[in-house]
A and B are shown apart, each in its own frame.
Chain A
Amino acid sequence: MASRTLSLSNVIAGYGYGDVLKGVDLEVEQGSVTCIVGPNGAGKSTVLRAISGVLRPREGTIRFEGSDVCGVSPAQILARGIAQVPQSNGIFPNLSVRENVLIGAYILRRDRALVERRLGAVAELFPIIRERGSEKAGNLSGGQRRTVEFARSLMLDPSLVMLDEPSVGLDPKALRAIAGAIKQMSEAGKTLLIIEQNVRFGLRMSTHGVVMESGRVLMHDRADTVLGNPEMTDLFFGGTVAAGPRRASTPA
């Protein structure tokens, strides 16, 4: 396996009402797709905030590509090659698809040639950016919107892309579309760090899985190993579909 691109060690962080992260150790390998799963409120989004510089950890170190990035400003983190796609809908519905993607290159706006080159590369990966570039983003379907958000995050050519619950709110067709988009980003050489509540969906498209609970990392292994772990399944992944009780069998 390739080298570690990101490593967190004993990260302690919170929002002013106590520590949410209580000593997180996490390693992300170059080129991997790592998926963090766990109960609600376990600190998954907080880990992303600590990495992206929005939240300054109280203790611990975060190293990215060999340098310490703990406490570095969000703008600096972005410049160093970590991009994030937030959970909530970040599409501007009244701007065109192309404009929505270009927002991601705002800090490069003076270097037009570079912006055009990046846009070309992104459109290569996601043809919809070219095909429907002049349409209003509001007219796109849920999966297409999410794809536009992915495209936007690639405009600064990051080496690590963090996705906060890419599946939330998407219909089954869209889910398959964005699974494809994530795979494409991975094949294009991006390292991906994903948070997913749709655990099976997340782990199946990942190479590595991380289970968090109560502000700590409980398990970190290959994704299929995590997915196959009976204890984790029992605690956090829910029963399989077939095992769920049917309405007909519940006493009225």
Chain B
Amino acid sequence: MRLAAAARGAIPGELSELASPRWVGRALLVIGGAIVLVYPLISNDLFYQNLIILSLLFAIGAVGLNVIMGWGGYISLGQSSFIGLGAYTVGILATRVGGSPFVWLPAAGLVAALFALVLGAVATRLRGHSFVIATIAALFLLQIVATNWRGFTHGTTGITLPIPQWDVAYQNWPFYYSLMGLLVLALLLSWRIRKTKFGTGLIAIREDEDKAATVGIDTPVYKSLGFAASAVFLGMAGGVYGYYLTFLDPTGMFDIILSVQIVLAVILGGRGTLWGPVLGAFLIESINELANQQLGGGNSRLLIFGGLLTLAILVLPKGIIPSVEELWKRRRAEGTAALAGGRLNGLPAHPVDRRAQPAPRTGSSLLELKGLAKRFGGVHAVDDLTFTVEEGSITALIGPNGSGKTTAFNLIGGTMSADGGEIWLDGRRIDRLRPWRRAYLGLGRTFQITRLFGQMTVLENVVAPMRSFSLSQLNAGAMSGPEASRAEELLQFVGMREFRDQRAAELSFGQQKLVEFAQVLMLDPKLIMLDEPGGGINPTLVARMAEMIRELNQRGTTFLIVEHNLPLVLDLCDPVLVLAGGSCISSGSPEAIQKDPLVLDAYLGEDFKLEEPVGAH
């Protein structure tokens, strides 16, 4: 859906809208939804009712899993633990306390979500395969507890729920429609998350977790909340499922095959889409039933799931819905002109700055490094590095390749932790803080090789940063509202507004630099650290970048800039700090630095002349 919308933004009204996959998708959705809605009313076929009930269960699981897997990028094979937890919660409460199992569904959702929060807090410290294994371990742990805590769960004997009391004429309708209602709720939650900064933050984590941390995204909290969101409705659905089966036992409820089926549904339908997981769930469950009925069940379905996964990865690595959208987008873009970089026209409009008054150069230090050290093996990348950045200054950090400039940036920003020394920002010691805490205190940085979130649009990239952690910001709209309009102003400022709907990965290197600059401005930082802002961008644009830096500086932002473009450094920065071998060998005004014999020897070279900085023919 997202891609179709982006394409529409870029090429307005080219072809008939009615033939777009958006409308075809909507039509199919309405037809499919209507069939599922009225099926039990028009048919008594219990086989198909059962098929749809199970499909709905998996769809709820897959829509939830998509939050943490499609957007957050974390694959969980432990989703069936939420089914089991929900079922057991409902089963135990209904048999011990009494009442209809349906009354206890909210409790099932709560227990599942709480367990996900706790598991998330632990497991989301891990990445990649380790996370997957941790989720499987949690599932088996729950199974073992359910088996052995006989006094509470009746162990392998299981729990038998009361037979439903409603009229036989209603058949399975209560199960059917409560699952349908839960699916609608799960979809609403998923849709809402995608629209907010919480959703953009999750995608940022998927795209580049370390970078996400530097733009103020509190990654453990995001991941835990995402995990809880993936669990809440699945827990409730698990309660319905348990009641539907009327019998709970540890192996049937905490079944890893259910988890596998949920993961497969997300992959097949399309990760990171709203409807893909639903489509995937219905397809997978249909195939599953077919295998059970026609192909001997049991082992044959394992074979089929394995084969399907292989096939999906080979043929449709992105899943059905994204592949169709991609194909459509390509066909539609055929022969049209893409936006391409041209000359710069006019000066950009001024961005709205939230801080009221420009801070004058106070002479006080904003950033202070004291004896900072970092070793890689035997190499002292940063060695007893001490310097200060004065508030309101544009300070340059120059030095030969490998002198430790970027490492120093990584240490200050928190992407790496130092082996020794202290870092102070605005009177607070920050070297033990996590990267997002440093961002909240007013520290922003860019990267030498830009690190935008490639699959997000330009606008989403700029919206993603968080100035502080608050639930209201998590819930703030990402594509409309004040956050989005602020992002658009910043894009205008760097001259990239017309590219707002393009995916960041589609931009050229220099354009990515500009977007990353806008992204860091979104944090309203007191101190901006730029890693080679002029590298790889056109000279006219370098000049504009310099103007932007000056303008922001006049309104109170302090800059620390790593740059090799000497004319730019000498023109823009004062003072200039010179690094060599991991420590600061000289500092002073641009005029003084050019004449310093230490600097000439280590960096500029004996024959340095500013007017001709490079060896010409």
A residues near B, CB below 8 A?
14-20, 22, 37-43, 45, 58, 87-89, 141-143, 165, 168-176, 179-180, 183, 197-201, 204-205, 213-215, 235-239, 241-242, 244-247, 250, 252
Contacts and interface: CB of A to CB of B under 8 A. Distances in A.
B7 A171 contact: no
A175 B535 CA distance: 13
B401 A179 contact: no
Nearest to A241: B567
A239 B543 contact: yes
B341 A236 contact: no
Contact of A87 (B7, B509, B603): B509
B554 A39 contact: no
Contact of B538 (A38, A89, A172, A244): A38
21 contacts: A37-B538, A38-B538, A39-B341, A39-B538, A40-B510, A40-B514, A41-B508, A142-B400, A169-B448, A169-B536, A169-B564, A171-B399, A172-B564, A197-B536, A197-B539, A198-B539, A205-B616, A235-B540, A238-B539, A244-B546, A245-B571
B342 interface: yes
Contact of B401 (A20, A170, A198): A170
A40 B614 contact: no
Given A22-B337, A213-B343, 7 more contacts: A39-B344, A40-B508, A58-B334, A169-B564, A172-B564, A199-B539, A244-B543
Given A141-B400, A165-B536, A172-B564, A41 B337 contact: no
Contacts, number: 188
B506 interface: yes
B207 interface: no
B401 A169 contact: yes
Given A244-B567, A247-B571, A173 B605 contact: yes
Nearest to A224: B617
Interface in B370-416: 394, 398-402
Nearest to B342: A214
Contact of B337 (A18, A247, A250): A18
A205 B617 contact: yes
Interface string B512-546: 01100000000000000000100111111111001
B508 A174 contact: no
Contacts of A199: 538-539
Nearest to B400: A171
B333 interface: yes
Interface string B588-613: 00000000000000011100101101
Given A38-B538, A174-B401, A238-B542, A20 B611 contact: no
B44 to A, nearest CB: 49
Nearest 5 pairs of A and B residues by beta carbon: A40-B510, A142-B401, A41-B341, A238-B539, A18-B338
B10 A17 contact: yes
B550 A250 contact: yes
Contacts of A244: 543, 546, 567, 571
In this complex, the interface size class of chain B, counting residues with CB under 8 Å from chain A, is 35 or more
Given A17-B338, A39-B341, A168 B614 contact: no
A208 B368 CA distance: 48
Contacts of A173: 400, 603-605
B337 A204 contact: no
Interface in B401-456: 401-402, 448-449
Contacts of B184: none
A204 B613 CA distance: 11
B343 A235 contact: yes
Nearest to A87: B509
Contacts of A246: 571
Nearest to A207: B617
Contacts of B334: 58
A41 B10 contact: no
B337 A19 contact: yes
A42 B543 contact: no
B502 A183 contact: no
A43 B535 CA distance: 18
A149 B604 CA distance: 23
Contacts of B340: 20, 22, 41-43, 214-215
Given A20-B340, A171-B399, A41 B511 contact: yes
Contacts of B542: 238
A40 B511 contact: yes
A247 B574 contact: yes
B506 A17 contact: yes
Nearest to A244: B571
B614 A17 contact: no
Contacts of B604: 172-173
A219 to B, nearest CB: 13
Interface centre among B449, B543, B617 (most CB of A within 10 A): B617
B300 to A, nearest CB: 39
Given A19-B337, A172-B605, A241-B571, A39 B617 contact: no
